[in-house]
Structure 1
């Protein structure tokens, strides 16, 4: 059991508290002083039982300077360690801490996998074993400043190392050096790294390319809603950029400098989703960490949590989320005490939540709690008037990442994109164009470079043979458009004005397709 004693910061108070526990025969395994002004003492008493605490608590609160005693889930150092582990494990690049003798102190999972050892086997390993030709401590002493992009050879692969020196206390001279944190980046993926950095920098509303009027209208609505500190529900198909919009709303709010965490509720078993979101107490179940685990909500304290595919939540999780939205409180898995947090909730779904409510699959009270503010992201097929500008934006970004000359999009390629139904929306368009830029060697992207699956054509293309060439397909679409509009504009001149082209062009096309009344 872990206790937090809220107390006065006076000489001897810790001795008085520990002496009282000793009189009761209770052993203190560890103690820490915390609080903003050193006004709290944390005690780890593994053998203390609930019944004993009920007896002890009044006596402890009678100690001079003690204001209150309550149970907590974690000691401050344990919380700090969990937060550090969560941060390191979220990094895909290998990160290591070394001392000035060249021994490893700690490493994240990516680094331990690279070295071929378990994370708990890292402390004490000599770096000379892996880098015999490089004296990193000497590099650290010689520079005594951050080093970026040092090329090293490790395990038959080339890496660019970023080295951040660690100093004792607040000194910055060579004598105070305690070691360094080393981050390794694969030299083969350095272009991708730069691209990812660029993407992270452009992650607010400025990262949203308003290529069509509908998207511009959506961004205008979102900007107005972003500062409002209330739940936000975002509707939209897969790949439309719901998380990008949620992040932009977070950054434009008063919470913009606080954490933004995301959890996709689809495909996660109920138990895993619950521990990821709410965390668990020490020893909550077999295989649990002895120190417990912080959930995303606690890691997001003061910031914004983004729950994607919220319609996939189990009834149990829906109930816990509803409780949190009502009063900001929840219990970790296996915990007895309540945790209260200030976190804004933004949810997204591609399902009809009202229909799910009618089927009894989603709580109606939760729906109304979430749907205080709402935004609907249109699918790409409804924004094709801006696809040329959007495609140019993605081509430019892909060329920068790959490091090649900027290719152009041929009219046939643009026509192919404009006639496609884009089931994967903006994400699919971006992926297709990145691949097209990598395949293009002539400086012009043609339809052959666009790897688009032909399955699942929308109803708008029903009856059109998609097996022919692009000219054949576009010709059939053109014929249908002219045949459909001609009865409302029964002359080539009227139809030409309607479509914004010359009278001669329309007359020739009406003749070509045999549409009656082609004379001017």
Structure 2
């Protein structure tokens, strides 16, 4: 059990507090002092029982200078450790902290994989066994400044190292050097990294291509809603860029400099989704970390949480999310302590939430809480008036990433893109064009380079020959409609009544298209 004492900063107050536990036979495993003025004391008492705390608490609160005693889930150092662990785990490059003897003090999981050991086996390893020809501590002393792009060979791979010195004091004197943080980048992936950096240069709404008037209208609407500090619901099919829009709204809001975290609710077991979102207390369940785990909500404090496919959320999580939206409070798994946070919630779904509410699969009250602000992202098939500009944008991006000359899109290939129904929307278009650029050996992308599977719902014009005049196309549509309905209304009078036109009109059209044995 961990306790937090809000108290006066006076000599001997820690002794007065601890003596009561000693008298009661309870061991204090660890203590920390915090607060802006040293006015908070944290104690870790692993064997203290709830019943014992209930007995001791009134006595502890009578100690001169003690204002309150309450349970907490984590000590400050444990929280810092969790936050640092979460930060390091999110990095895709090896990161190590070394001391001035060349031993590794700490490292992330990627660094452990690079060195061929578990991450808990990394501390204490000497860099000499991996870099025998380089004296890093001497390099750090000699430069006593940040070093960027130092080429290193580690095993069979070549890396570019960024080295940031650490000082034990506030000054930059060599005598205060305590070590350095070393970040390694694979040299053979620098081109890929440059591409990703360039891709992130345009952020927010500027990163969303607005080639279609419908998309431009969507962005204008989203820009108006972005600064409003209320839940936002983004609806749209898969691949339409809902998360990109959510990030843009976050960056354009007053929370833009705070964290943005995303959780996909689809495909996660309920218990995993709950611990990912809300975290868990120390020893919450078998196999849990002894120090517990911070959830995405706490890591996002002051920022924005994005819940994708919120329609897939389990009933239990719906209740916890509703409670958080109502008063900003929640409990970690296995904890009875209330945590209150200021986090904006943005959700996305490709499902019909009102229909799910009617079917009893989604809470009506939660839907109304999420639907304070809402935008509808149109599918690509409704924005084909801007597909040429969008396609050229993706071709340019793909050629830069692959490192090949920029090809152009042939008129026949453009016509193929414009007539396709795009069940995967913008994401599918980007992937198709990336593949087309990689397949194209010349300077022009032809229809043969476009791998477009016939999957997903097909729009009503599928199979209709769009060559010829408008009258020819409309005639083909008319014939298909009459052919489909005639078996259900097998006379010109019945079919005329169904379509709301005169009997003579239908009789003439049936005769013209050769439908039915009788047209009277």
> Does residue 468 of structure 2 align to residue 479 of structure 1?
yes
Other-structure match for 1:84: 84
- How has the CA–CA distance of structure 1 residues 418 and 127 changed in structure 2, closer, same or farther, with 3 Å as cutoff? same
Other-structure match for 2:144: 144
> Does residue 123 of structure 2 align to residue 134 of structure 1?
no
Other-structure match for 1:123: 123
> Does residue 341 of structure 2 align to residue 321 of structure 1?
no
Give the C-alpha shift of residue 449 in structure 1: 2.5
Give the C-alpha shift of residue 480 in structure 1: 6.8
- How has the CA–CA distance of structure 1 residues 391 and 483 changed in structure 2, closer, same or farther, with 3 Å as cutoff? same
DSSP-derived class of the 1:113 partner:
helix
Give the C-alpha shift of residue 102 in structure 1: 1.2
Q: Give distance in 2, aligned partners of 1:160 and 1:426.
A: 35
Other-structure match for 1:494: none
**Structure 2: unaligned runs, 5 residues or longer:** 477-520
> Does residue 170 of structure 2 align to residue 181 of structure 1?
no
Q: Give distance in 2, aligned partners of 1:441 and 1:179.
A: 51
- Bigger CA drift: 199-208 or 216-225? 199-208
Residues 167 and 176 in structure 1, CA contact (< 8 A), matched pair in contact too: yes
DSSP-derived class of the 1:219 partner:
helix
DSSP-derived class of the 1:478 partner:
coil
Residues 144 and 165 in structure 2, CA contact (< 8 A), matched pair in contact too: yes
Q: Give distance in 2, aligned partners of 1:103 and 1:386.
A: 57
Runs of 4+ in 1 over 4 A off after TM superposition: none
- How has the CA–CA distance of structure 1 residues 484 and 437 changed in structure 2, closer, same or farther, with 3 Å as cutoff? closer
DSSP-derived class of the 2:374 partner:
strand
- How has the CA–CA distance of structure 1 residues 143 and 444 changed in structure 2, closer, same or farther, with 3 Å as cutoff? farther
> Does residue 169 of structure 2 align to residue 169 of structure 1?
yes
Root-mean-square deviation (CA), in Å?
A: 1.8
Residues 93 and 185 in structure 2, CA contact (< 8 A), matched pair in contact too: yes
- How has the CA–CA distance of structure 1 residues 175 and 440 changed in structure 2, closer, same or farther, with 3 Å as cutoff? farther
Q: Give distance in 1, aligned partners of 2:75 and 2:199.
A: 37
Residues 347 and 370 in structure 2, CA contact (< 8 A), matched pair in contact too: yes
**Structure 1: unaligned runs, 5 residues or longer:** 465-475, 488-520
- How has the CA–CA distance of structure 1 residues 216 and 6 changed in structure 2, closer, same or farther, with 3 Å as cutoff? same
Other-structure match for 1:158: 158
Give the C-alpha shift of residue 344 in structure 1: 0.7
- Bigger CA drift: 125-134 or 451-460? 451-460
TM-score normalised by the chain length of structure 1: 0.88
- Bigger CA drift: 200-209 or 365-374? 200-209
Q: How many residues align?
A: 477
Query: Once the two structures are superposed, what CA deviation does each residue of 1:322-354 show, in whole Å capped at 9, x if it has no partner?
Result: 111111111111101111111111100000011
- Bigger CA drift: 476-485 or 442-451? 476-485
> Does residue 235 of structure 2 align to residue 235 of structure 1?
yes
Other-structure match for 2:31: 31
Q: Give distance in 2, aligned partners of 1:107 and 1:288.
A: 22
Residues 311 and 362 in structure 1, CA contact (< 8 A), matched pair in contact too: yes
Give the C-alpha shift of residue 457 in structure 1: 6.3
Give the C-alpha shift of residue 97 in structure 1: 1.3
Residues 467 and 473 in structure 2, CA contact (< 8 A), matched pair in contact too: no
Residues 239 and 428 in structure 2, CA contact (< 8 A), matched pair in contact too: yes
Q: Give distance in 1, aligned partners of 2:475 and 2:450.
A: 34
Residues 421 and 459 in structure 2, CA contact (< 8 A), matched pair in contact too: no
Q: Give distance in 2, aligned partners of 1:64 and 1:201.
A: 57
Q: Give distance in 2, aligned partners of 1:346 and 1:152.
A: 43
DSSP-derived class of the 2:468 partner:
helix
Give the C-alpha shift of residue 242 in structure 1: 0.4
Q: Give distance in 2, aligned partners of 1:385 and 1:305.
A: 33
